[in-house]
Amino acid sequence: MKTHEVAGNIMHFMEAFQGSRPSMDTPQMLIVRGMSRKEIEPEDLAQVVSDIFNEIGARKIDVFSEEAKDLIGIMDENIRAQVQIQGETDVYGIYRMKESFEAMNCFVEYSLGILDRIAIFIVLWMDKSGFGPKFVELVVANLET
């Protein structure tokens, strides 16, 4: 299964395909962001993330596990292969990400998953005011070398 197919399935599920744009598109990794047209209540964001993984047949991974740490490291390596980034890999950065979104007055949920040899990192976020779009951000990485 290809990264584009996985990302496309997720963006279609979230009704966010139209207007979505990749910020990185390589054979190993696809990073894409879009705006969901689905009506989602903030308290339902975590369930929606679970529903996405169920819909595409992916296995959800505990973000505090060693497996998650390994996947984040692989994703970081793929990004660093394309973009000059200062500093060391910080696998704990995603844990602080939620705090950063909340400090910007946003609701946010994220999760990691795996489907075949494809790692998936999904972030859903929206403004706490209830106005404006709901964003879908994906990192989809091919784990095969």
| pLDDT value at 95 more than 80 | no
SS (H, E, C) the chain: CCHHHHHHHHHHHCCCCCCCEEEEECCCEEEEEEEECCCCCHHHHHHHHHHHHHHHCCEEECCCCHHHHHHHHHHHHHHHCCCCCCCCCCCCHHHHHHHHHHHCCEEEEEEEEEECCEEEEEEEEEECCCCCCEEEEEEEEECCC
- Count: domains in the chain: 1
**Domain encompassing residue 12:** 3-142
pLDDT, position 79: 77
Q: Smallest Cα–Cα separation from 124: which of 64, 49, 61? A: 49
pTM score: 0.89
Instruction: Give per-residue pLDDT as tens, 113-141.
Output: 999 999 999 999 999 987 778 999 999 99
Residues in the chain: 145
Residue 111 has a pLDDT of 93
* Torsion from C-alpha of 37, 17, 97, 77, nearest 10 degrees: 170
Distance CA 50, CA 59 (A): 10
Residue 71 reports pLDDT greater than 70: yes
Whole-number pLDDT of residue 139: 93
Q: What is the mean pLDDT of residues 90-117?
A: 86
> One-letter amino acid identity for 17?
F
Res. 76 pLDDT band, cuts 50 70 90: confident
How far apart are the C-alpha atoms of 133 and 71, rounded to whole Å? 29
pLDDT in tens, 7-64: 999 999 999 988 888 988 988 899 999 999 998 999 999 999 999 999 999 999 998 8
pLDDT of residue 64: 85
Position 75 pLDDT exceeds 90: no
Residue 87: the pLDDT is 66
Identity (one letter) of the amino acid at 25?
A: D
